[in-house]
Amino acid sequence: MNIRKRDSLVILNSLNGGVVPTRGIQHIMVGRTEEAKQIMTDLDNIKSGLSVVRFFVGSFGSGKSFIQGFIKQLAFNEKFVVASADFSPERRLYGNEGKAVSIYSELIKNLSTATQPEGNALPKIIDRWINECQKEVLNEMGLDFDAIETLEVVKAVEEKIKDVVNQLDEFTGGFEFSRI
């Protein structure tokens, strides 16, 4: 088995610090074949348009963070965006006094991609989406990138974004979100 030097350093430093490695986790995974197969099946199902939610519950040291790290690495390899959060009495799916909002805020804050694995990836995701909208508009109008800041292109990009965002109306809470 060949392990890249960069991965081996991350693995050794993480294990020395008592934390889950952020890369190369598959090299130290033992006895988790069934879980790995299920995770790959889940990711394939998500690619097909299905939804999957997994809750990991267990005592300290049972491998919850390890398996979460493994899922994150597999998801990044498949070009997924990953959101994660730990539940606590102050962060839950329901509640009052901002407790429900807190978990959603945490999920958005921890949104990560392969290029931004530590979180706070939402601005880059939105920037990339806007850039894609701009490219599509330029292609539709038969213009090159030099025309990106012309009033005609800016208005066309705004319309394209509005069209996409208005489609959110059909989802729960979509109307409020699309008006922000």
The per-residue pLDDT for range 21-36, each reduced to its tens digit, is: 888 888 888 888 888 8
DSSP state of 27: G
Residue 119 above 60 pLDDT? yes
- Say which residues have a Cβ less than 8 Å from residue 132's Cβ, sequence separation at least 6: none
Q: Angle of helix 151-166 relative to helix 122-141, nearest 10 degrees? A: 120
pLDDT digits (tens, 9 = 90+) for 120-135: 999 999 999 999 999 9
User: What band does 177 get if pLDDT is binned at 50, 70 and 90?
Assistant: low
Question: Percentage of residues in the chain with pLDDT exceeding 70?
Answer: 95
Specify the pTM: 0.75
- At 155, the pLDDT band (50, 70, 90 cuts) reads very high
128 token code pair: 């990339």
